[in-house]
């Protein structure tokens, strides 16, 4: 049985994370599709989710009067990221596959150009670059299947991060 505070905060922050993620995507989409290939956008997004995770766990620990086991901390975080990632993925599927499917094609071409430029900077042989281009053309990173695959990766990566945060936020006196 999950504590009501953990459930409430996990769901509330999960919805907030999902909305923030959808707003970030919508803003980038509205401003310039080239921003999807910018490394600093990724860093900014990760920092945003880090801050939200810290606020979530701090708030929950405070509401539990400082008694916060590792399991409870991880559960709180996992509920939030699961809901946030699902909302974000659903938004991306709708945006790139139903609302504006042409953006998916544009983004695929931008990703290919970005990848080619990076590979050329590192002195990658032309044959390897051509092979990479062929693979990128096979699977659009914004197709429904690829977005769902990406959400699984995001859940795994976020869970690892959640384990680290849970270890940091757990009560020091908890024997688990």
Q: Is the pLDDT of residue 174 over 50?
A: no
Residue 28 domain flag: yes
Question: Is 68 domain-assigned?
Answer: yes
Q: What is the domain range of residue 95?
A: 4-101+144-169
What are the Cα distances from residue 61, in Å, to 67, 74, 176?
A: 7, 12, 16
- Size (the chain), residues: 176
Residues 6+ apart with CB under 8 A from 82: 14, 155
Whether residue 53 lies inside any domain: the answer is yes
Could you identify the residue written with the tokens 């399991």?
Answer: 71
Residue 46 lies in a domain: yes
pLDDT, average across residues 8-13: 98
Domains of the chain: total: 1
Q: How confident is the model at residue 173 (pLDDT cuts 50, 70, 90)?
A: low
Does residue 23 lie within any of the structural domains?
Answer: yes
Dist CA 14 CA 93 (whole Å): 18
Residue with tokens 């430029």: 117
Residue 51, domain member (yes or no): yes
> What does DSSP assign to residue 64?
T
pLDDT at 137 over 90: no
Global model pTM greater than 0.85: yes
In a domain, 83, yes or no: yes
Answer whether residue 64 is part of any domain.
yes
């Amino acid at each position: 049985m999950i504590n009501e505070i953990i459930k409430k905060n996990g769901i509330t922050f999960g919805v907030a994370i999902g909305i923030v993620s959808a707003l970030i995507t919508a803003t980038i989409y509205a401003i310039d599709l080239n921003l999807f290939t910018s490394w600093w956008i990724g860093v900014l997004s990760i920092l945003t989710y880090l801050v939200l995770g810290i606020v979530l766990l701090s708030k929950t620990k405070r509401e539990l009067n400082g008694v916060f086991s590792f399991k409870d901390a991880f559960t709180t975080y996992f509920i939030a990221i699961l809901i946030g990632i699902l909302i974000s993925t659903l938004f991306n599927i709708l945006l790139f596959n139903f609302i504006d499917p042409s953006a998916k094609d544009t983004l695929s071409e931008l990703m290919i150009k970005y990848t080619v430029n990076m590979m050329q900077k590192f002195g990658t042989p032309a044959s390897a670059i051509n092979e990479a281009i062929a693979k990128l053309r096979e699977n659009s990173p914004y197709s429904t299947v690829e977005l769902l695959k990406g959400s699984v990766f995001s859940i795994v990566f976020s869970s690892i991060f959640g384990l680290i945060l849970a270890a940091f936020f757990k009560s020091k006196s908890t024997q688990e």
